[in-house]
């Protein structure tokens, strides 16, 4: 039976773990990198990373979060119940109009 070597902080040897070796050519563009400071500054400012498109358009027009946000402090269970009634009515109207 083969013995399994147990590594601890006292007998760890980094040469036992060669890590990842990349043999493909690099796809980075010279002078197009950000420093860690710049990345953190952009993140704190809420600026999305370069190259990522942000689309704030939605296809659904009956979105309750846009019509009546529940973030306000005066939204309670009675309002939620009223919203559920309105949703059921809209669904019934849509199902009867489709038939």
Whether 90 is in a domain gets the answer: yes
Q: What is the span of the domain harbouring residue 96?
A: 69-99
Whether 60 is in a domain gets the answer: no
Whether 8 is in a domain gets the answer: no
Residue 3 confidence (pLDDT) above 60: yes
> Residue 56: its pLDDT value, please?
63
> Residue 88: its pLDDT value, please?
92
Three-state DSSP at 27 gives coil
Whether 15 is in a domain gets the answer: no
Confidence class for position 4, pLDDT limits 50, 70, 90: confident
Whether 30 is in a domain gets the answer: no
**Mind listing the pLDDT tens digit for each residue in 42-92?**
888 887 766 666 666 656 565 555 555 555 667 778 888 888 999 999 988
Task: Say how many domains are in the chain.
Answer: 1
- Assign 3-state DSSP to the chain and report helix, strand, coil percentages, each to 5: 40, 0, 60
Whether 57 is in a domain gets the answer: no
Whether 39 is in a domain gets the answer: no
């Amino acid at each position: 039976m083969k013995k399994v070597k147990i590594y601890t902080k006292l007998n760890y040897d980094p040469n036992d773990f060669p890590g990842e070796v990349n043999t493909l050519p690099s796809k980075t563009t010279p002078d197009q990198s950000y420093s860690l400071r710049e990345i953190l500054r952009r993140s704190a400012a809420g600026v999305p990373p370069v190259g990522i498109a942000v689309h704030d358009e939605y296809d659904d027009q009956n979105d309750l979060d846009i019509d009546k946000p529940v973030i306000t402090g005066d939204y309670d269970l009675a309002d939620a119940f009223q919203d559920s009634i309105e949703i059921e009515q809209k669904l019934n109207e849509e199902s009867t109009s489709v038939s």
